[in-house]
Amino acid sequence: MNRKFKRTKAFMSSVVFFGLSLVLVFVLVYGIKYICSVNGNSQIPIYRVDTEDKKVALTFDVAWGTDNMKTIMEVLEKHNIKSTFFLVGSWVDDNKEIVKQLSESGHEIGNHSNTHANMTALSDEDITNEIELTSEKISNITGNQTKLYRPPFGEIDSKSMDICESLGYQVIKWDVDSLDWKEIGPNHVIDRVVKGVQPGSIVLFHANVSYVSEYLDNIITRLKKDGYEIVPVSELIYKDNYTINSNGVQKNIED
């Protein structure tokens, strides 16, 4: 009887130990996952937002030239929409009035570095200077701090991501590349964008390219006809309680 009791006790102890072990593993795995999620997985830029809302962001990289800026702003005003413009600091130096116009028109301004250098080839100090100097230039004109950063050429590594996070930036890339810089013609640009967008998409355009007047109005008209609302990046992305998967898709964490 005593021997049977001991065997039963030993068995129950094993079951309890096994159960506690499973609980501990569960807590560790999902606890770490939750912590990483809340911190936003800062090693991956945002390419697209996971949302059921038919919202998209049209973004413009501005590094040189001014020929199309008036046309772009007129088309956006015609449709009563706001976009996000990622500006290079050296361009800001020569175009303060345009920067002011963008800001006063309600468009969002993001940081695109100071000299459009490949950040992955620079030192920590140089990366920081590239971002902070541009931020200061924009702030001196608009009175607003930039919180969105787009790396030149889309090139970014873990070092640059860490620096951006330390400076309070969210790094923004894109899931739809218009390829307007390749001079592929307006019809191809329109086709790529209209077919490529989905809810939460971030579209990449460049300001100083050909055919802007021929494709931008058309794209916006067709997106609106398809039921899309066009918003600045900051109105599309999550500021906190999110995770970013390996494909750069930002997802909200349910409370």
For residue range 33-92, list pLDDT tens digits in order: 444 444 445 589 999 999 999 999 999 999 999 999 999 999 999 999 999 999 999 999
Q: What per-residue confidence (pLDDT) applies to 20?
A: 57
Q: What per-residue confidence (pLDDT) applies to 35?
A: 42
Q: Is 112 a catalytic residue?
A: no
- The Cα–Cα gap between 225 and 69 comes to 25
- Give me Rg for the CA atoms of the chain: 24
Q: Tell me if 127 sits within 8 A of 152, measured CB to CB.
A: no
Structural tokens at position 74: 């007129």
Provide the b/e sequence for 118-145 (b: ≥16 CB within 10 Å).
ebeebeeeebbebbebbbebbeebeeee
Nearest residue to 56 via CA among 240, 232, 246: 232
Q: Is 61 a catalytic residue?
A: yes
Q: Which residue in the list 53, 177, 206, 226 is annotated as catalytic?
A: 206
Alpha helices in the chain (DSSP H): 2-38, 69-78, 89-94, 96-104, 124-142, 158-166, 186-196, 212-225
Q: What per-residue confidence (pLDDT) applies to 183?
A: 87
Q: What per-residue confidence (pLDDT) applies to 43?
A: 83
Cross-strand partners of 202: 57
Q: Which residue in the list 50, 61, 112, 180 is annotated as catalytic?
A: 61
Low-confidence spans in the chain with pLDDT less than 50? 15, 23, 25-40, 255
Answer yes or no: CATH 1.10.10.60 is held by domain 48-252: no
